[in-house]
Amino acid sequence: MKEVEAVEIVRIARKNHLCLIVDEVFAEYCFDSLQRANSFVTTDSVMTFTLGGISKLLGLPQMKLSWIAVSGPSNVTSTALKRLEFIADTFLSVNTHVQQMLPSLLKERKSTTRRFLERLQTNLAALRSRVTLARAVSLLRCEGGWYAVLQVPATRSDEDWAEVLLEDCNTLMHPGLFFSIDRINCLVLSLLPLPDDFDRGISSFINLITEKMAVNR
């Protein structure tokens, strides 16, 4: 989210009496900080629910702990907090052990996210290098998160490409439609694998695309 975008979103919400629900689980994993907006937790002019959790922050999805930061005008946030408390009491609470462990887990936050970010940047650099040499594949701009999006030849659907990659190369990528990407020829891949495994997978992917395109000529 760019600062100019954040300002405009808040302006529209305030004008139309809307609240904001902002998912910031990937906020720590940014590759391009230029003009980046700050966290929405400081937004006080409109009702704002900012989501976070240790699934992405610490790489611990199995611990099942997340949170909602509520900000905005005091006359509405107090009511919202009471209703959220009621909802939280209605369903199963977060596991007691992980709640008790949270202070200790958060002490490792900086080192954990740093290691994640180093791997993400290493794999992204390798991907950019490989894709530069492949005419049939292009990498869409990647500003953060754990995923990259590749545009592949439109000679077959993204589902078909994903199936071929899995069967012929033992390489898993997701069709863009899984992520509501409108383009029909996009694949989404994780930047989290070990660098050597990631590089082998990308090499197999590039070789397969090249071979398939050569056959189609």
Q: What DSSP state is assigned to residue 13?
A: H
- Is the fold of 3-107 the same as that of 110-216? no
Instruction: Tell whether domain 3-107 is in CATH 3.40.50.11900.
Output: no
- At the second CATH level, the architecture of 110-216 is Alpha-Beta Complex (3.90)
User: Dihedral sign, CA of 166, 172, 176, 179?
Assistant: positive
pLDDT at 217 over 80: no
In sequence order, the β-bridge partners of residue 71 are 48
Q: How far apart are CA 150 and CA 143, in angstroms?
A: 14
Domains of the chain, by residue range, sit at 3-107, 110-216
Q: Model confidence at 215, in pLDDT bands (50, 70, 90)?
A: low
User: Dihedral sign, CA of 193, 198, 202, 205?
Assistant: negative
Burial of 33 (0-12, 13-18, 19+ CB in 10 A): exposed
Q: Model confidence at 40, in pLDDT bands (50, 70, 90)?
A: very high
Note the pLDDT tens digit of each residue in 103-132. Answer: 999 998 999 999 999 999 999 999 999 988
